[in-house]
Structure 1
Amino acid sequence: MKVKALGVNGAFTQYYHNNFVFELGDRKLLVDAGTTLRYSLKASKYKETDITDVFITHLHSDHVGGLEEFAQRCKWVHNHKPNLWIRASMKEKFEEVVGKGLFTDGLTLDDYFNVYPVEVGYKNAFKIGDYLIELIVTDELHAQNMMSVGLRIDSPDNKNIIYTSDIAKHEQAAFYGLIDSETVALFHDVSMIKNPVHSYIEDVVDHYKNWISLDKIYAMHYQDDTNLFEATDKYGINFVEEGFYYEF
């Protein structure tokens, strides 16, 4: 598996939002599409036509605000129709959020994407190519009244990556129960300051130190002014860098 960070920072960053591309064999899965996507996708040398699959973890603007333009460019400029995997119970709200700009002249989500509603949990895991994707419920663990999910991605050779997306109450989430001997990376929301909607760095390290080797934790969504060298040295975990490839 190859993972590329389009951006690693929060909603108010002067850089790029915390969005990723997972290269799964010959498929490229875009996880989240914030309002900076029009810049971060190009900066990472991807084109809209490179993206075969899309998944949105929750409906804050730094995760879905760039999807409208992405969809418009795919349809009207490139004649390209990616797959959109969407949590079934989020579909109505999802269409309400993105439909204001996309659903003109009778168009629907199906005119822009091949839409696949999917359910949460291992029994409902779905495949992108040869890779198995499981949705992990994190409803209201990031923000009140917010539906959200994390991901576990299993490769054909049984390695797996866990991706939390935005989460504050990580102790209440099920991520630690998904970690096993084949987990090669835990991409985790990390804030360098305490706040009610993101996980505080020291709490993350303390919570996971008995579940996974710290060098398998990849911190994301941290503040712009974070000194990565000092933070890595202090906490012993990795801090994901914008535009970098990570291969597992």
Structure 2
Amino acid sequence: MAVLKMLGVGHSESLAHWNNNAMIEVANRRLLIDAGYTIKFALRDRGLTLADVHAIFITHVHADHCFGLERLAYECRFKYGFKPTLYLPPGVYEELWDQTLKGVLGQVGEGPAELADYFDVVLLDDKPFQFGGVNIEFFQNQHTPTKPSYGLMINERLLFSGDTRAIPEVLNRYTPEVILHDATLADWNPVHASLQELCENYPENIRRRMYLMSYEDEYEQQRERVEQDFAGFATQGQEFEL
């Protein structure tokens, strides 16, 4: 059986939860959906280490989604002696290596290094890919303007929005049984979907299948409203069958 596990559900500023990262587990193989700076803690809570990670998909280049790659790179190469597979959708490689990781990974004791020295890098085009028989489609969402940023449709069953504003045009293309959707509980954040925006853009029949993720620490203040208008808050460690 394949499952998606929420390793963390927190907004980037959260202290109560780990970064909003997830993991697909199938046949004892594991694909991370993002690897933020709290990834080692999140894996530890599931009884895992970086050595238990076989692959990573990066939705976009923000610290809470990709800074854990530095630890994965160094520890898998020098401590565990293997290369995880790194799946990168269009446009992400340039931001990830040239503008983000090269400064910390580009030079090691042996000399200059490239991203491919640490990972088996797979540059995706616009076609779906598979991991352990799990079919994964990806789509551009609506996060920071002009920034490559993606959500996932997994096994035609579960939609993982990634960091995004409301994307009704995407949800209209699919019929997911379960939706994991980015949400901010603040009214000032311009690149995440507020509760009001979600209610205005999605009808009730969609919202009742929607679990909110990437939320701030003040979530208890909004629990009653969220449980009334949505399926609820996604929780750290929660599992969804794929």
In the superposition, the TM-score normalised over structure 1's length comes to: 0.86
Which segments of structure 1 move beyond 3 Å, counting only runs of 4 or more?
none
Name the counterpart of 2:208: 215
For 1:116, the aligned partner's letter is: V
- For 1:134, which of 134, 137, 155 is the aligned residue? 137
Change in Cα spacing, 1:175 to 1:196, as seen in structure 2 (3 Å) is same
**SS in structure 2 of the partner of residue 178 of structure 1:** coil
The answer to whether the Cα contact below 8 Å between 1:176 and 1:211 also exists between their aligned partners in 2 is no
What is the match of residue 89 of structure 1? 91
Deviations 1:80-105 (A, max 9, x none): 21111011332122111112111212
Deviation of 1:26 after TM superposition, in Å, equals: 3.7
Greater mean alpha carbon deviation, residues 203-212 or residues 102-111: 203-212
From 162, 165, 168, give the equivalent of 1:165.
Answer: 162
Q: Classify the secondary structure of the residue corresponding to 2:136.
A: strand
Tell me which amino acid in the other structure corresponds to 2:140.
V
CA separation in 1, counterparts of 2:223 and 2:88?
Answer: 37
Post-superposition offset of 1:175: 2.1
**CA contact 1:215–1:237 (8 Å) conserved in 2:** yes
Distance in 1 between residues matched to 2:225 and 2:83, nearest whole Å: 41
Q: What is the CA deviation profile of residues 197-218 of structure 1, one whole-angstrom value per residue up to 9, with x for unaligned ones?
A: 1101232134222663x33211
Cα deviation, 1:123-176, whole Å, max 9, x if unaligned, reads x111112112112012xx21133211111111xxxx5211111112534xx421
CA distance in 2, matches of 1:169, 1:205: 9
Aligned residues: 234
Give the alignment's TM-score, normalised by structure 2.
0.88
Separation in structure 2 between the aligned mates of residue 229 and residue 89 of structure 1, nearest angstrom = 37
Whole-angstrom CA distance in 2 between matches of 1:161 and 1:224:
25
| Percent identity (aligned) | 27
Do the aligned partners of 1:6 and 1:41 also contact (CA within 8 Å) in 2? yes
Q: CA deviation at 1:49?
A: 2.0
Letter in 2 for 1:134: E
Match of 1:53 in 2: 55
Residue type of the alignment partner of 1:29: L
Contact 1:55 1:86 (8 Å CA) reproduced = yes
1:112 equivalenced with 2:123 (yes/no): no
Secondary structure class of the residue paired with 1:63: helix
Tell me, yes or no, if structure 1 residue 205 matches structure 2 residue 199: yes
RMSD: 1.9
Structure 1 position 98 matched with structure 2 position 101: yes
Q: What CA distance in whole angstroms lies between the structure 1 residues aligned with 2:76 and 2:53? A: 10
Structure 1 unaligned spans of 5+ = none
How much does 1:193 deviate?
2.3
Letter in 2 for 1:5: M
Q: Name the structure 2 match of 1:145.
A: 146
- Deviation for aligned residue 1:239: 0.9
Q: Residue 70 of structure 2: which of 68, 71, 96 is its match?
A: 68
